[in-house]
């Protein structure tokens, strides 16, 4: 198993599996983008939850 947070780059491999897992950095999301993407999703969930809560009350 590879350690958490470390993404290896393999030159020449453009298959969707390697790209989605971040093995090829220029073709996939790097770590900082992953983090911000995760935060953006969390923020969206919070906004939806608060909107639904305000509708219910």
Find tokens 């639904």 and name the residue. 52
Q: Report the alpha-carbon distance of residue 22 to residue 57 in Å, rounded.
A: 43
Radius of gyration of the chain (CA): 17
Query: Range of 36's domain?
Result: 29-57
Tens digit of pLDDT for each residue in 2-55?
445 544 544 556 566 665 655 555 544 455 555 566 777 888 888 888 988 888
18 domain residue, yes or no: no
53 domain residue, yes or no: yes
45 domain residue, yes or no: yes
Whole-number pLDDT of residue 27:
47
7 domain residue, yes or no: no
pTM: 0.38
Q: How many domains, the chain?
A: 1
35 domain residue, yes or no: yes
């Amino acid at each position: 198993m590879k350690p958490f947070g470390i993404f290896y780059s393999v030159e020449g491999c453009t298959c969707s599996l390697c790209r989605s897992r971040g093995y090829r950095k220029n073709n996939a999301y790097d770590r900082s983008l992953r983090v911000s993407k995760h935060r953006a999703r969390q923020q969206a969930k919070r906004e939806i939850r608060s909107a639904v809560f305000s509708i219910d009350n």
